[in-house]
Structure 1
Amino acid sequence: MTLIWLNGPFGGGKTQTAYELRRRVPGSVVCDPEHPGFGLHRMMPPALRGDFQDLAAWRQGVYEVLDLVLRRHADGPVIAPMTVVEPGYFADTVGRLRGAGHEVHHFALLADRATVLRRLSERGLGRGLKRESFAVAKLDHCLERLREPEFAEHVTTDRLTVPQVAERVAGAAGVRLLPNRYGPVRHRLVRAWTGVRHIRAL
């Protein structure tokens, strides 16, 4: 089965694109690698919580779960929206899955710094960028790393809507999309609902 890994900076549109793909690709499923990271954090006292990607348990768990799903889910592609910018961690997840024989299509969704900051501010629940301090602090590092060749294929999203990004990803991955029958208003509602459902609450 096919894995579509959506990389990119925090606020780069990974989750919105993932759920647009799921909506329009029959049988597809989203497996979010953030979830085991949140679980590992909840096992730890707040003072010890750093970047969960630094934990080998997270990288191993993501590999094992995605390997299992890819071997047993036969209905459609598996979609994983997750920022990974450290080459070693990328090798432990995306690289290992490729090494296990899975068809992995990796995309780095990129945008100008100003575009990403605007998107982060819009999802800040009225608090602007204050609520997204972690994402802002990581932004320049993410953008610099993700432009490197090992993180291709790159998709520039500044002037693309979420459906257009999904269409570009699907085309490059050889995945057939259902027609987009939603108008602008319904798309805004879907994006807002997706954003609310994926608010980080640690």
Structure 2
Amino acid sequence: MIVMLNGSFAVGKTTAAELLVERLYHSMLYDPEVVGAGLAHIVRPIEGFSDFQDLTAWRELVIETARVLKRIYGRTLVVPMTLWHRPYFEEIVAGLRGLDPHLYHFCLTARKETLHKRLAQRQHEHTEQALTWIRERMERCLAAFEAPAFALQIPTDERTPSEIVELILTAIEQESGLIGAGR
């Protein structure tokens, strides 16, 4: 099984993903941002870009890394990533679904005010340049995630991370019956 947690920056994807790994039997966290950071370090001298998601190699590596992790470790992958650009989203979802037909996509949402507040609380984690980059993309994310392709949406404004994880687990269980009483 692969559980993809999508949503805007500062919506709580990584926190929810970490908690989900604790609750979901035989799972592991797979953050494609780590793949992007490594790839950026390698190709920056030869290719200009402002977002590693624009690199064809990144999208292919996200899928290939998931394939290797599934083959070697055989665990459920919990994948937090902000993937708002529809062609990239479709490419990665198709690739992940090809690896495991039990792909669950959840789009965590929040109001713009909530996102800005959360980002301000975490600003010590980012450089000013990174904060500017994130703020510039938040508007695009909010608009993009209104599309039906980004359902099942889970509003996070008034929910704790534990409540969000419980909603995700319940949705997976209702759709698949894969979790059952062993949760």
Task: Determine the structure 1 residue equivalent to 2:176.
Answer: none
**Partner Cα separation in structure 2 for residue 24 and residue 128 of structure 1:** 32
**Partner Cα separation in structure 1 for residue 126 and residue 91 of structure 2:** 35
| Cα deviation digits, residues 55-74 of structure 1 (max 9, x gap) | 11000001111123234433
Are the aligned partners of 2:7 and 2:82 in contact in 1 as well (CA < 8 Å)? Answer: yes
Task: Determine the structure 2 residue equivalent to 1:117.
Answer: 116
Quote how far apart the aligned CAs of 1:129 are.
Answer: 7.3
Are the aligned partners of 1:115 and 1:158 in contact in 2 as well (CA < 8 Å)? Answer: yes
Task: Determine the structure 1 residue equivalent to 2:12.
Answer: 13
**Partner Cα separation in structure 1 for residue 55 and residue 125 of structure 2:** 32
Quote how far apart the aligned CAs of 1:92 are.
Answer: 1.4
Are the aligned partners of 1:147 and 1:154 in contact in 2 as well (CA < 8 Å)? Answer: no
Summarize the alignment of residues 1-202 of structure 1 with structure 2, pairs less than 5 Å apart.
Answer: 2-43=1-42, 44-45=44-45, 48-74=48-74, 76-125=75-124, 132-174=131-173, 175=179
Runs of 4+ in 1 over 6 A off after TM superposition: 126-130
| Cα deviation digits, residues 164-195 of structure 1 (max 9, x gap) | 0111111111246988xxxxxxxxxxxxxxxx
Are the aligned partners of 2:105 and 2:151 in contact in 1 as well (CA < 8 Å)? Answer: yes
**Partner Cα separation in structure 2 for residue 18 and residue 157 of structure 1:** 14
Are the aligned partners of 1:129 and 1:136 in contact in 2 as well (CA < 8 Å)? Answer: no
Task: Determine the structure 2 residue equivalent to 1:188.
Answer: none
Specify whether residues 49 and 134 from structure 1 end up closer, same or farther in structure 2 by C-alpha distance, changes over 3 A only. Answer: same
**Partner Cα separation in structure 2 for residue 131 and residue 62 of structure 1:** 22
Quote how far apart the aligned CAs of 1:119 are.
Answer: 0.5
Aligned residue pair count: 177
Are the aligned partners of 2:2 and 2:100 in contact in 1 as well (CA < 8 Å)? Answer: no
Specify whether residues 108 and 50 from structure 1 end up closer, same or farther in structure 2 by C-alpha distance, changes over 3 A only. Answer: same
Residue ranges of structure 1 left out of the alignment (5+ in a row): 180-202
Report the secondary structure of 1:102's partner residue. Answer: coil
**Partner Cα separation in structure 1 for residue 95 and residue 119 of structure 2:** 31
Amino acid at match of 2:58: W
- Please report the TM-score for the alignment, with normalisation by the length of structure 2: 0.87
Specify whether residues 51 and 130 from structure 1 end up closer, same or farther in structure 2 by C-alpha distance, changes over 3 A only. Answer: closer
Amino acid at match of 2:66: L
Amino acid at match of 1:121: A
Quote how far apart the aligned CAs of 1:96 are.
Answer: 2.1
